[in-house]
Amino acid sequence: METLTVAEGDLTSNPLIYAATRIDDALERMDDEVAIMFKSHAMNTINSWYRLPIYDADFRWGRPIFMGPGPIGFPGLAILIPDPIDDGSQSWVISLELDHMGLFKKYLYDIEKKEMNPIRETSSIFGNMELLDLVRHLNEDCGS
């Protein structure tokens, strides 16, 4: 992978467009290499937002109905979000590649067939072990 190096004097003595152009050129050369690197490595992250006071926000029109992340730019990320009703339920925001979605559905139904309720067995601090198993199965079956 290419590293961009520029002398400090070049940055300070040239207009801002010089630095922007150097960065842009390096990014263009890196795109293919970085894409291959990220494609070949599964990125699996499970994050819990249970400790964040996301439903305590006061925007002067009442308590929020839903709070969640914006668009997720890469597959392999799952975020567990508490329910605004505070009844112990949760929402999962999961970013999957298209070919992983069918497998996710299959494994999710397999968990339900075992009469386990993955939503109710969640640890509010460490995430959901059933979800970790799902991610592991997806990676094994898709060759990641």
Q: Indicate whether 47 pLDDT > 80.
A: yes
Which pair of tokens denotes residue 46?
């499970």
Q: What pLDDT does 120 receive?
A: 43
Q: What pLDDT does 41 receive?
A: 52
**pLDDT, mean of residues 22-48:** 68
Q: What pLDDT does 121 receive?
A: 41
Output the CA torsion sign for 77, 98, 72, 48.
negative
Q: What pLDDT does 126 receive?
A: 37
Q: What pLDDT does 5 receive?
A: 74
pLDDT digits (tens, 9 = 90+) for 104-132: 777 777 665 665 444 444 433 334 445 56
Amino acid at 19: A
Q: What pLDDT does 76 receive?
A: 78
Whole-angstrom distance, CA of residue 108 vs CA of residue 48: 19
Amino acid at 77: L
Determine how many CB atoms are found less than 10 A away from the CB of residue 48: 19
DSSP conformational letter for 114: T
pLDDT digits (tens, 9 = 90+) for 49-103: 888 888 888 888 888 888 888 887 777 788 888 888 777 777 888 888 777 777 7
Domain 45-142 falls under CATH 3.30.559.10 = yes
Q: What pLDDT does 60 receive?
A: 86
Q: Domain limits of the chain?
A: 8-40, 45-142
Least confident of 15-19, 41-45, 84-88: 41-45
Q: Where are the beta strands (DSSP E) in the chain?
A: 45-48, 77-82, 90-95
